[in-house]
Amino acid sequence: MDYVHLGRTGLRVSRLCLGTMNFGPVTTPEDSYAIMDRAHAEGINYFDSANVYGWGENRGWTERIVGEWFAQGGGRRERTVLATKLYGDMGDWPNEGKLSALNIRRACDASLSRLQTDYIDVYQMHHVDRATPWDEIWEAMEVLRQQGKILYVGSSNFAGWHIAQGQEAARRRGTPGLVSEQSIYNLVERTVELEVLPAAQAYGLGVIPWSPLHGGLLGGILRKIEDGATGRSTSGRSADALEKHRPAVEAWEAFCADRGENPGDVALAWLLHQPAVTAPIVGPRNIDQLEGGLRALGITLDEAALARIDEIFPGPGGTAPEAYAW
């Protein structure tokens, strides 16, 4: 396993990030423990969660599963760079969501309890809160850092100008600000190349792509449909997207077949070849899916291969403003 620094920090993380969103709603606690153990065995030290995972009445379930795994000991917590998120509503009363100082304090303490740990390595804002002043957000995060409850702060689903806004506010306060940004980024959804990735690179943020296979669309969906497979990757968002992108998906699967590679592995490998990317999030439902993500680490794409992929799934044309202006 290769390790890189998370943005401009001295923190070293694996080139793959283990996403835990399926733990609980899809994957049993026992299978979740096995996946996390296997991830450690393969050198993955970077785990991502969120307080809302488990969803609906089960919000917090996923963090509890991770906490139960930590409680098994054996250096599990010590060997994990733990990232989790806050923003989504955890109840029906006011102030049980978003990024007020009150919710930041309460949400952090609740996550620490569920995760059975006394600190979070990377505490991430799951979305931008336009109604809360940046000074309030940063003061609350500074208090958590002073208390030793969090080490770094990250963002997720921010626009490029939100990153700039947040970083400039942090700079005025003399604090580090953001160290990472989680964005949807894959061959189908490349909008972040316009402004989010340039902003992250300019401010020294690590980029953590989520949905690297676009809900399964890039993981060999046509072959799975042909084989009669059913499941998440052949329904929902991926099935809807297939109608829009079928010619590109057909070309994509043919390209991967010519290389003798699984489409999902190549899609992950493409992200790993992007200079702004620190570690894509893989969210396996089982051990086999985790092993598929690991195979991507061994795939090398030369300039010709990268050029062909750009032909199949053209991006926005580069960074802004050149992508849409002179």
What pLDDT sits at residue 284? 94
Q: Is the pLDDT of residue 234 over 80?
A: no
- CA–CA distance, 326 with 323 (Å, rounded to integer): 8
The region of weakest confidence among 6-15, 18-27, 161-170, 223-232 is: 223-232
- CA–CA distance, 31 with 33 (Å, rounded to integer): 5
Share of the chain above pLDDT 70, in %: 98
Q: Which of 3, 33, 46, 53 is catalytic?
A: 53
What pLDDT sits at residue 185? 98
What is the domain partition of the chain in residue ranges? 3-214+262-302
Q: Is the pLDDT of residue 34 over 80?
A: yes
The region of weakest confidence among 46-60, 203-217, 232-246 is: 232-246
> For the domain 3-214+262-302, what is the CATH superfamily, name and number?
NADP-dependent oxidoreductase domain (3.20.20.100)
What is the torsional sign of CA 192, 150, 170, 50?
positive
What is the torsional sign of CA 31, 36, 37, 39?
positive
What average pLDDT is seen over the chain? 96
CB count within 10 Å of CB 301 equals 17
Task: Indicate the pLDDT class of residue 231, thresholds 50, 70 and 90.
Answer: low
| Cα angle for residues 51, 197, 261 (degrees, 5° grid) | 85
Q: Which of 261, 262, 282 is nearest to 271 (CA)?
A: 282
* The pairing of beta strand 120-125 with beta strand 81-86: parallel
Q: Which long-range contacts (CB under 8 A, 24 or more apart) does 54-61 make?
A: 54/24, 54/25, 55/25, 58/24, 58/25, 59/88, 59/90, 60/90, 60/110, 60/114, 61/23, 61/24, 61/25
Quick check: is 53 catalytic?
yes
- CA–CA distance, 253 with 102 (Å, rounded to integer): 49
| 285 DSSP assignment | S
Q: Is the pLDDT of residue 232 over 90?
A: no
- CA–CA distance, 267 with 43 (Å, rounded to integer): 21
Q: Is the pLDDT of residue 239 over 80?
A: no
Per-residue pLDDT of 84-123, as tens digits, reads: 999 999 999 999 999 999 999 999 999 999 999 999 999 9
* Kind and range of the H or E run holding 120: strand 120-125
Per-residue pLDDT of 115-169, as tens digits, reads: 999 999 999 999 999 999 999 999 999 999 999 999 999 999 999 999 999 999 9
Per-residue pLDDT of 180-196, as tens digits, reads: 999 999 999 999 999 99
What is the pLDDT averaged over residues 210-225?
Answer: 94
Q: Is the pLDDT of residue 326 over 80?
A: yes
Per-residue pLDDT of 65-83, as tens digits, reads: 999 999 999 999 999 999 9
What pLDDT sits at residue 213? 96
What pLDDT sits at residue 319? 96
Answer whether 0.85 is exceeded by the pTM.
yes
Task: Indicate the pLDDT class of residue 228, thresholds 50, 70 and 90.
Answer: confident
